Amino acid sequence: MVRLSMALLAGAVAAQLSSFAPEAYPFDRLLLLSLMVRIVAGRPVCAAFSLGIALYLVHAWSVIDARLAPRYAGDSIVTEVEVLGFPAIRDGSIRFLARPLDRPTLPERVWLLWDEPPAAVRGGDRWELVVRLRRPRTAGNPGAYDPEAWYFSQRVGAAGRVVAHPRNRLTGAGFGSALLRLRQRLADRIGAAVGSTGSAAVLAAITVGSRHGLGTEQWERFARTGTSHLMAISGLHVGLAALAVYALVRGGLFVAGFRGRARHLASLLALVAAGLYVCVSGAAVPALRAGLMLGLGTLAWLRLRPQRFLGTWSLAAAAIAAVDPLAVGSAGFVLSFGAVLLLLWQARLALPPGSQRCRWLRVAASVQIALLLALLPATALLFGRFAPAAPLINLLVVPVFSMLTVPLALLGLILAGPLQPVGDVLLRLAALSIDVVDLLLASGLWPEGRLAGRFGVAGLVCLVLASALAWLPRGWPGRWVSVPALVAVAAWQPVPTPEGCARITSLAVGQGQAALVETSGYRLLYDTGPAYPGGSSMESQILPFLAYRGVTALDTTVISHADSDHSGGLRALLDAMPAGRLLAGEFLEVAAHTPESCHTARPWRRDGVRFSFEWHPEAASAEGNDASCVLRVEVGAHQVLLTGDIERTAELSLFRRGDLRAADIVTMPHHGSRTSSSPAFVRTVAARWAIASTGHANRWGFPKPDVAARWQRHGTEVMTTGSRGAIEFVLCRDAALPEPVAHRDRIRRIWHDP
């Protein structure tokens, strides 16, 4: 059974790692599945592996087929929706999952962002809204979060915004399921007893699985200290609830003089309590895993059968993979099952059969260190970081949560009715324990383990070897090779740009522009992307990319002009890191910074690469698009032209002065608008590649088809960041012109929209 369960799980994981697009196959999908089953007929393990693949693909295709039809993308649609779950509040905006009720042409689940709603949005509410939707899609920048994977796992078929409109109105409240209404009441009671504080958000997370109130700073503290797992209702919480009910029932039966099957009755009620807790918590993967393993383990104990931990673990994993195959790729699944498997393994090593003694502090410390090392590959690949101080912090924090916070919080919620005042006191005591823990986590004593760069084959080998100390038994040869491997991982840096070369990356920032130019020792950022009401692309795309490339400070920052789609992320950039020399095409209001005019800046060289601005007479007095800084980057014979939003007036001025020269790579002026890319400009530049920095399927239709065709008639290949993600070139002085690397092509998975 263990082998079959593991084979099914392996099949689901293998399908998750596939990169083909199912719509590219003309044959019926059932034919593919039937062939797979026929090939492995008669071989149980192979059949289980094939079944795992088939289950994953069937679920994946159902989600892909249910996505928003392209013809509805970008349209303003009036629909009535029901709010599912708890809306999240970020910077005055509400984000929530919803189910359209009166539009069968829309997907069953949509993700909406609403800026400054007129009233509070709660789970179970029904609203008539004017929405503008699109198919779920990630921008596609190295190092940035991939929301498309989350949309896919949550079966979201469309994402979009609520349009400000008089028709937006609340049509009814409290229409959600009875379970959602119960969770909402419990969360409201926590807020009423504790107040709108960070501790109230944590209490809601560990009791009813409502993590919508946790702020960005709180999540950052948890991630930096390795305590994020405390916010997921897992084996710790479920086990405590079941153990408390078991002890109360056994004690009550003993006092009552019941001498029958007390153990069976207490175990049954404990399982019922654990199941209710899992449901009330939202039934996330860690809670489901804990409930399943608790049920299987209790069944074996009641039947006086020897408990096989690996069998219990594998059956629980296979059950979740069979019911919801899309969950196997989530961080909750990987980290939850990985941590439990390690704990079972470490317990077996620390407490071998027949052992009569155990030094609990030593075991607890060794387990925490083992957890850090064993989960290092997963945390590094999923989040690009690890928490060096996690073993020490968890030794201090976990007992507080186990013995104070969770029991007080659960008991406080149970005490209702006449006993509610007592329950509220317990909730406030639980909140006080969280405040104490938060003081510990907020101190600046804890080091941060950010890992920069993409891990190649050598990096993956080092990650695996770094976890060897946790997985290999004591005395195994080569066990301590994990120490130098861990040092190598901690010191890992991105692949540097070679001497005499320049790496130019045009980032995907929606309808805006940002590009990073790197040499062996110099970093220049051209534009900082747009700013949106719910936040700028700087925090979600550009800063993660800079961290991925190991950039902690810039040498030069160029803001082509003041339009928000080019300068919107500047303030966030200045708050995050030194921006170096600041150059701009027109006046910018930036506190404590006075940008230089790029139009009067002289050319400069760094590491053999020449930088210069193309000047035209109108630039000094121009405002808006024609004031854009036009930056030329020269690497030997290779030329790159970053044009900002210049329009035909500036293009013709450059052409008439004779300063306009050919370039191998050019960013299409003004994102491919008809106001730019004049015939003379296109003919003179004669680029090999033209990059249009645009949002995918943007409402302006950039780049305009006739403009793209004009470039193509002169032998230029047109690429868009909206379709291809970040586009990277590595130009070297003594090498031929390379082919571009598009990030969305490189990271293609089955859930990515074409």
CB 72 within 8 A of CB 105: yes
Residue 356's pLDDT is what?
A: 47
* Percent of the chain residues past pLDDT 90, beyond the cut: 41
CB 427 within 8 A of CB 412: yes
For the stretch 147-163, pLDDT in tens is 899 999 999 999 999 99
241 in helix, strand or coil? helix
Q: Which two tokens stand for residue 58?
A: 């069937």
31 in helix, strand or coil? helix
CB atoms within 10 A of CB 356: 5
Residue 706's pLDDT is what?
A: 96
Is residue 751 a part of any domain in this protein? no
Continuous H helices in 209-308: 216-225, 235-255, 262-280, 285-302
CA dist list (Å): 590 to 91, 523, 546, 582: 21, 21, 21, 10
CA–CA separation, 541 vs 421, rounded Å? 47
Is the bond into 136 cis (omega within 30 degrees of 0)? no
Domain count, the chain: 5
**Mean pLDDT, rounded, of the chain:** 86
Is residue 309 a part of any domain in this protein? yes
If asked whether residues 532 and 400 sit together in one domain, one would say no
Which has the closest alpha carbon to 639: 495, 504, 498? 504
For the stretch 644-700, pLDDT in tens is 999 998 898 888 887 789 999 999 999 999 999 999 999 999 999 999 999 988 889
Close Cβ partners of 565 (under 8 Å, ≥ 6 residues apart): 511, 512, 513, 529, 530
If asked whether residues 167 and 261 sit together in one domain, one would say no
- Compute the average pLDDT of residues 586-603: 84
If asked whether residues 300 and 446 sit together in one domain, one would say yes
Segment among 9-13, 28-32, 447-451 with least mean pLDDT: 28-32
Is residue 588 a part of any domain in this protein? yes
pLDDT at 576 over 70: yes
CB 408 within 8 A of CB 428: no
Distance between start and end Cα atoms, the chain: 39
Supply φ then ψ for residue 449, to 5 degrees: -105, 70
CA–CA separation, 613 vs 595, rounded Å? 15
Residue 387's pLDDT is what?
A: 84
Is residue 464 a part of any domain in this protein? yes
- Compute the average pLDDT of residues 625-649: 94
E-state strands within 520-646: 523-526, 531-532, 535-536, 556-559, 581-584, 596-597, 604-606, 609-613, 631-635, 638-642
Q: Which two tokens stand for residue 210?
A: 């409502």
CA–CA separation, 380 vs 451, rounded Å? 7
If asked whether residues 281 and 328 sit together in one domain, one would say yes
Question: Position 479: which residue type?
Answer: R
CA–CA separation, 660 vs 684, rounded Å? 7
Examine the fold and report which residue of 387, 419, 450 is the final residue of a domain before the chain moves on. 450
Q: Which two tokens stand for residue 404?
A: 């104070």
Confidence of residue 27 (pLDDT cuts 50, 70, 90): very low
Q: Is the pLDDT higher at 387 or at 743?
A: 743
If asked whether residues 291 and 337 sit together in one domain, one would say yes
Query: Can you tell me which residue has the tokens 């080019």?
Result: 566
Is residue 8 a part of any domain in this protein? yes
- As to burial, measured by CB atoms within 10 angstroms (0-12 exposed, 13-18 middle, 19+ buried), residue 452 is middle
- As to burial, measured by CB atoms within 10 angstroms (0-12 exposed, 13-18 middle, 19+ buried), residue 354 is exposed
If asked whether residues 200 and 330 sit together in one domain, one would say yes
Continuous H helices in 401-508: 406-414, 420-442, 457-466, 468-471, 482-490
Is residue 753 a part of any domain in this protein? no
If asked whether residues 248 and 384 sit together in one domain, one would say yes
For the stretch 167-224, pLDDT in tens is 999 999 888 888 888 998 999 999 999 987 789 999 999 898 888 888 878 888 888 8
CA–CA separation, 99 vs 77, rounded Å? 14
For the stretch 35-74, pLDDT in tens is 566 556 667 887 788 888 888 988 998 899 899 998 998 8
Identify the top-confidence range among 540-544, 717-721, 745-749. 717-721
Confidence of residue 3 (pLDDT cuts 50, 70, 90): confident
* Percent of the chain residues past pLDDT 70, beyond the cut: 92
CB 12 within 8 A of CB 321: yes
Residue 24's pLDDT is what?
A: 47
Is residue 752 a part of any domain in this protein? no
If asked whether residues 628 and 733 sit together in one domain, one would say yes
Which has the closest alpha carbon to 551: 530, 573, 569? 573
Confidence of residue 442 (pLDDT cuts 50, 70, 90): confident
For the stretch 263-306, pLDDT in tens is 888 888 999 999 999 998 888 888 899 899 988 888 888 876 76
Is residue 496 a part of any domain in this protein? no
Segment among 309-313, 450-454, 462-466 with least mean pLDDT: 450-454
Question: Cα angle vertex 172, ends 167, 177, to 5°?
Answer: 130
**CATH of residue 98:** 2.40.50
CA–CA separation, 710 vs 685, rounded Å? 12
Residue 108's pLDDT is what?
A: 94
If asked whether residues 31 and 85 sit together in one domain, one would say no
If asked whether residues 330 and 405 sit together in one domain, one would say yes
- Half-sphere CA count of 243, side-chain side, radius 13 A: 11
pLDDT at 590 over 80: no
Residue 26's pLDDT is what?
A: 45
Examine the fold and report which residue of 156, 176, 196 is the final residue of a domain before the chain moves on. 176
Query: Can you tell me which residue has the tokens 């693909």?
Result: 57
CA dist list (Å): 746 to 453, 464, 492, 543, 692: 15, 23, 21, 20, 19
Segment among 25-34, 214-223, 437-446, 614-623 with least mean pLDDT: 25-34
pLDDT at 636 over 90: yes
Domain with 638, as residue range(s), is: 501-746
If asked whether residues 215 and 322 sit together in one domain, one would say yes
pLDDT at 712 over 70: yes
Examine the fold and report which residue of 114, 148, 176 is the final residue of a domain before the chain moves on. 176
Question: Position 390: which residue type?
Answer: A
CB 76 within 8 A of CB 163: yes
Which has the closest alpha carbon to 733: 515, 495, 520, 522? 520
**CATH of residue 742:** 3.60.15.10
- Half-sphere CA count of 525, side-chain side, radius 13 A: 31
Confidence of residue 469 (pLDDT cuts 50, 70, 90): confident
If asked whether residues 550 and 624 sit together in one domain, one would say yes
Which contacts qualify for 577-580: CB closer than 8 Å, 24 or more apart?
577/546, 577/551, 577/552, 577/553, 578/553, 578/554, 579/525, 579/554, 580/523, 580/553, 580/554, 580/555, 580/556
